Amino acid sequence: MEFRPIRPDEVPVWRQFQEYCFHTEPADFDPWMASKFQIEHTRSLFTDGGQMAAACANYPWQLHFEGARLGMGAIASVASLPENRRGGHVGRMMQHLIIEMKERGIPLSALYPFHQGFYRRYGWDVACTWIDHEIPVELLGHLRKYSGVIDRHLPGQADWREIAPVYQRWAASRRGYVARETEHHWRTAVYATLPGRNWHTAVYRPAAGAAPEGYLLYRFANDAPRKLQVRELVALNPAADRALWGFIANHDSQVKFVKLRQARTWPLWHLVDHTYDVKSTMESGWMLRLIDLKAAIEARPWPGAPNGSLVIGVTDEQAPWNAGTWRLEFENGRAAVNLAPAETPSLSASVQTWAQWYAGFVRPDQAVATGRLSGTDARSLALLAGATAGEEMFFFEFF
């Protein structure tokens, strides 16, 4: 079987996979094809007879990690046709993707699963959870007066260059946010082009003519009761945060609720003085895979990690280069990872569990308590916990 990007004459077949498998009418899919589709990021598996057996896309994005950038393969549009399902084609395609990313020097990969168990078997695991908050807008009444200036743009009328520097400053020092550099990325992965999916933009400046210090992407959900859905609220300082919430609060005549998706650690308490009236629902988000464990750990800084070293065991059936015994040495905020076959690991886990640790999604003591991490060495556990203490990985993009 052959695994490769599709050729121009194969676009209609790849597109049929998408339309059928994701129940999209051709007319609804046209804008996606016109704006988002990039043939070089498609991948398909072909039978020996040349038939397309499985299809997907893999976007070579980069993630911010506290000043560093790490490659992340964002896998999407995974599909096979029902007449050929459960023949192992998609499983084989996932294995090709893993090998290709390793060869291209992409240390991480993320995807949104239709079913977590399906991708877990290929080494991805849930590494992000978020909370969908539904806040009655009247709870925000005390925020209606604010200082500064908000410039508002209707869907399709914002210039991404106005808010890109705000996002860049905000995301660069954080963990896991997607680096957004091209107009194509802003147009297709931030401002989606599907009908009804575009976003209003509100830009905060401390004074007219000053540089922007925050922004909001939002839209109205006109089902009853009416809601204002916030996709991104990015504020460089408390004044920007305060003003953007003030702007939201002034929609009390138009909507009853504000919907907002945030990382689970986001503090709601600074906004409303009685949170019982806010409906907050926790959901699992994207899954992460360490494509290249050594590169993924060495490439990012670990500013909170205490100096010290430990020996870990890793199992990984699809990426044998990750499997084995490794010595991790943290020194002055950097990590060195080297195979140590003669040593005995103090802590051992599957590559899925190591991805969850890497994202800050599961603490080492939780992984031990749930039987996902074996070993009890307190010094090693403390070192791992110190390394990922702080912010969990998070990003806004859906793909």
* Tokens read off for 360: 């800050």
Could you say whether residue 169 binds ligand COA (CB under 6 A)? no
The one segment of 65-73, 78-86, 207-215, 260-268 that binds ligand COA by CB under 6 A = 78-86
| 160 forms part of the interface with ligand COA (CB under 6 A) | no
23 contacts ligand COA (rule: CB under 6 A): no
Q: Work out whether 398 is an interface residue with ligand COA (CB under 6 A).
A: no
- Per-residue contact track with ligand COA, 116 to 155, x per CB under 6 A? -xx-------------------------------------
Tokens 């039978």 sit on residue: 47
Measured from the CB atom, the residue of 78 and 310 that comes closer to ligand COA is: 78
Q: Could you say which of 114, 275, 378, 379 contacts ligand COA (CB under 6 A)?
A: 114
Which CB sits closer to ligand COA, 25 or 273? 25
Residue in 157, 180, 159, 156 with CA at minimum distance from that of residue 168? 180
What type of residue sits at position 155?
A: P
Least distance from C-beta 114 to ligand COA, angstroms?
A: 4
Q: Which of 78, 297, 373, 384 is the binder for ligand COA (CB under 6 A)?
A: 78
CA-to-CA distance for 179 and 181, rounded, in angstroms? 6
Collect all residues with Cβ–Cβ distance below 8 Å to 98 and sequence separation of at least 6: 109, 122, 123, 289, 291, 318, 319
DSSP 8-state class, residue 142: G
**Nearest distance from residue 169's CB to ligand COA, in Å?**
33
Complex with ligand COA: residue 85 or 379, whichever CB lies closer: 85
Q: Does residue 214 bind ligand COA (CB under 6 A)?
A: no
* C-alpha pair distances (Å), 352 with each of 123, 204, 330: 5, 40, 22
Check residue 51 for interaction with ligand COA (CB under 6 A): no
Spatial distance between the Cα atoms of 139 and 201, rounded to a whole number of angstroms: 23
Among 357, 332, 300, 355, which Cα is nearest to 175's? 300
Contact 139, 252 (CB under 8 A): no
CA 358 to chain centre: 14
382 counts as binding ligand COA under rule CB under 6 A: no
In the complex, what is the shortest distance from the CB of residue 82 to ligand COA, in angstroms, rounded to a whole number?
7
Give the binding site for ligand COA (CB under 6 A): 21, 78-80, 85-91, 113-115, 117-118
